Amino acid sequence: MFKKIVALCMALVLVFAMTACAKTEAPAPSAPPADEPATDAPATDEPAADEPAADDPAQVAIPVPEEGASLHFLHIYPEHEGAINKTLDIIKRDNPGLEINVSVVPWNEATKSIQTASASGEMYDIFFMWSTQVPGYNNVGLLLDLTPYVDDEWKSWYISDAALEEYSVGDQILGMPLRGTAVFMIYNKTMFDENGWAVPTSQEELEALCDKILEKGIIPISAPGKPNGFQVESIRGRVFDNLVYINGLIEDPERLTDRKTEWNGLYAQSGEIVKGWYQKGYFGANAFGLEREEGQTLFMTESAAMLLCNNNELTALRELNAAANNFEFGSFSFPKPAASDRTMFTQAGFGDGWGAWSGTKYPQACAAFFRSFACKETMEIWANEELCIVPSAEVEYSDPVQGAFAAQYADGGYKVVPNYNSGNKGDLTGQAFVDYCLSDTMTADEFETTVEQITARAIADAEE
């Protein structure tokens, strides 16, 4: 009875945290519930013989699953069933005797499934999570601290320190990245070649190019804006990143933790620039009414010369193009303004990843699972069979466009990672930009003030 009460209480706290009410003090280390120990190790001041010493990197040992370990694994990738099965085969090969039981849910049901599992006391040992959920999950004690198991060799497999930092709180590694998500510009290379259009290297050149494309009666950039501004808002974000960089604020700790609420006109300036592009027709007449698939269709039917898209859309675009045998793809980063000395790629991150339950009976098995998942052999499956951007520094991409994406990831950095549960802040700020673009009376300064207020409310809610 006591365990059921503990589980129900944890679920209520988790639900509360996931609706933007997680505390923002430096969280205590993740730990299993007191009545459900994670291991059978004796209670001594010395680490057990088969466990690594957390404070001595030289003593970190490759994790070996506990005898009889059986893990319950939750993922959201029915469309990647082949890659999942091949991955699990590699994990089982590397860890003989390890049993893995699989559950799969749609992506939009993952959070609810985790809440329900924690409430019932039948929590998944390993589960899908977005990197933005790490602070909230950690604050309610849900996540296993993987730091003692991750040695320098394992760390060296990642494309950058930032990949693991997205799944960390302080010095604790609390999850593992799987694949990256960022916005790229895909363009119709065949159309560009036929018209003598050059790939723009600055925002000013991009504007000039869009004007030329409009003269041809073609939409310059298919940028689906539904919901909440979607890709049009991501363009505004890229313009904003460059303005922040030019003004010396790119490494501002408040910005990097999404706690900055006074932008002194920079947010307004980014909004004004991109609203101007919207009004000129750079994104078509109905960008804010377009969903992702509709934006893809505009590009694939050559109604638009460029497509702003997530890199994870490349598989679908390749399939569509193969069926119609339309044209050759090219890609480039959204160009920097002439005043900047580098192209910013700040929002490239590895948002899809995994967590392990702090109450698992098999912490070493969980760590061993993650280590095998992170190896080159597994990452190549996800990179070259599923066309994902993976966090591995060792993978070579067979698709040239995907390889170009990956190279830009490596040059990213300065990603904003909130150190609090930001809730639906992104949706609210995106919708504020839509409202500004569609309004005849709302000023750019009023748009900036609205976003600052949304941020302040999110922070205040998280600290209650």
Query: What phi and psi, each to the nearest 5 degrees, are found at residue 220?
Result: -65, -55
Residue 143 DSSP label: B
Same domain? 79 vs 139? yes
Q: At what angle do helices 376-384 and 81-94 cross, to 10 degrees?
A: 170
Please report the pLDDT score of residue 214 as a whole number: 97
Per-residue pLDDT tens digits for 199-212: 999 999 999 999 99
10-residue mean pLDDT profile of the chain (464 residues): values are 40 38 34 36 39 49 94 95 97 97 92 92 94 88 96 92 88 95 88 96 96 97 94 94 94 93 98 98 94 92 92 80 78 89 78 96 98 97 91 89 76 75 89 97 98 96 84
Same domain? 83 vs 111? yes
Domain tally, the chain? 2
Distances (CA, A) of 156 to 55, 161, 173, 279: 19, 9, 14, 47
Same domain? 223 vs 135? no
382, 408, 434 — which closes off a domain?
Answer: 408
Same domain? 253 vs 124? no
Would you put residue 228 in left (φ > 0), alpha (ψ -120 to 50) or beta? Answer: left
State which residues form the domain around 286: 183-344+424-463
The answer to whether residue 79 is domain-embedded is yes
Please report the pLDDT score of residue 60 as a whole number: 66
pTM of the model: 0.71
β-bridge pairing 126-130 and 70-75: parallel
Please report the pLDDT score of residue 312 as a whole number: 77
Please report the pLDDT score of residue 413 as a whole number: 65
CB count in 10 Å sphere of residue 274: 26
CB count in 10 Å sphere of residue 349: 23
Residue with tokens 């088969």: 50
Please report the pLDDT score of residue 97 as a whole number: 96
Same domain? 197 vs 243? yes
The answer to whether residue 418 is domain-embedded is no
Residue 124 and residue 110 in contact, taking contact as beta carbons nearer than 8 Å: no
The answer to whether residue 47 is domain-embedded is no
The answer to whether residue 149 is domain-embedded is yes
User: Please, which residues have CB within 8 angstroms of residue 200's CB and are 6 or more apart in sequence?
Assistant: 206, 208, 209, 332, 335
CA gap 30, 15 in Å, rounded: 17
Same domain? 131 vs 150? yes
The answer to whether residue 107 is domain-embedded is yes
Same domain? 217 vs 258? yes
The answer to whether residue 419 is domain-embedded is no
Per-residue pLDDT tens digits for 314-334: 878 888 887 766 788 888 888
Same domain? 242 vs 338? yes
Same domain? 176 vs 324? no
Same domain? 458 vs 379? no
Same domain? 14 vs 149? yes
CB count in 10 Å sphere of residue 238: 25
Which CATH number covers residue 93? 3.40.190.10
The answer to whether residue 317 is domain-embedded is yes
Please report the pLDDT score of residue 194 as a whole number: 96
The answer to whether residue 240 is domain-embedded is yes
Same domain? 188 vs 261? yes
Please report the pLDDT score of residue 18 as a whole number: 39
